[in-house]
Chain A
Amino acid sequence: MGPKPNARILRDISAREMVKQNEVARRAYLYVARNQALPPQVRYQAQLQLNNFHIRTRPSCVRNRCTESGKGRGIINEFGLSRFQFRLKALAGELPGVKKASW
């Protein structure tokens, strides 16, 4: 059980849900809009439909945030943690295989 999610995490969760719900439709429109074998009129209409989607349906709107603190910057993607939370957890021995370097 993580901490209480802040507004930015909730926004990101909603974006992820919306991407999932609209992904197939978006892909279909993308296929039509980018297909040079189709008439320009059809491609243009498909592009207009793409522009009509909510901005949160775009996969690029989703950003990996820290799963522990919700921070948006300095995320180590392999663990889904910000660099400070990563340090705290690693020092506490909660990340298997992670060891402090010393030489």
Chain B
Amino acid sequence: MAAITPSRLASLTRLRCSLFQTSYNPTSIRTGAKYLRSRLVGPSMVNYYPETLTVAQLREWSGYKWDLIDQQEVQRLEDIGFKKARGKGTPKKAKTPGDSRRAGKRR
């Protein structure tokens, strides 16, 4: 029985590829096809968190006609007001690097 030459084997592979509609890639180089083949994940990623309805959204939706009060937000602002009155508010933002509280610190 005669030995089968590599060229004959290659032509067999090429024929097989044309029959089964696969790409002929004898050297197995990376074509990057997998990046085109895989599905897009973005659309399903966006739907992970359930829709939330906030008071601000409702007001915007009504064209600012409904007089809705966000009780949590009112409470938050009230608490901040009390803290500020007792001198426990957040420090002022530094206008220049010299004003920064970090400037006095030793490194």
The judgment on whether A and B are partners is yes
Residue in B32, B45, B46, B48 whose CB lies within 8 Å of A31: B32
Of chain B, the residue at the smallest CB distance from A68 is: B50
Q: Could you mark each residue 30-45 of chain A with 1 if its beta carbon is under 8 Å from any beta carbon of chain B, else 0?
A: 1111111100000000
Whole-angstrom distance between the Cβ of B32 and the nearest chain A Cβ: 4
On chain A, the residues within 8 Å of B66 by CB distance are none
Beyond A23-B40, A23-B41, whether A16 also contacts B32 by CB under 8 A is: no
Residue in A4, A17, A32 whose CB lies within 8 Å of B32: A32
Residue in B32, B33, B43, B52 whose CB lies within 8 Å of A1: B52
What is the size category of the interface that chain B forms with chain A?
Answer: 20 to 34
The stretch that binds B, out of A59-67, A83-91, A95-103, is A59-67
Question: Does B72 make an interface contact (CB < 8 A)?
Answer: yes
On chain A, the residues within 8 Å of B46 by CB distance are 16-17, 20
What is the size category of the interface that chain A forms with chain B?
Answer: 20 to 34
Whole-angstrom distance between the Cβ of A86 and the nearest chain B Cβ: 15
CA distance A27 to B4 in the complex (A): 42
Interface pair B53/A35, CB less than 8 Å apart: no
CA distance A57 to B57 in the complex (A): 26
CA distance A21 to B42 in the complex (A): 8
Interface pair A31/B35, CB less than 8 Å apart: yes
Question: Does A7 make an interface contact (CB < 8 A)?
Answer: no
> What would 10 more interface pairs be, CB under 8 Å, given A1-B52, A2-B52, A23-B41?
A12-B49, A23-B40, A27-B40, A30-B32, A30-B35, A35-B30, A35-B31, A37-B31, A64-B48, A67-B48
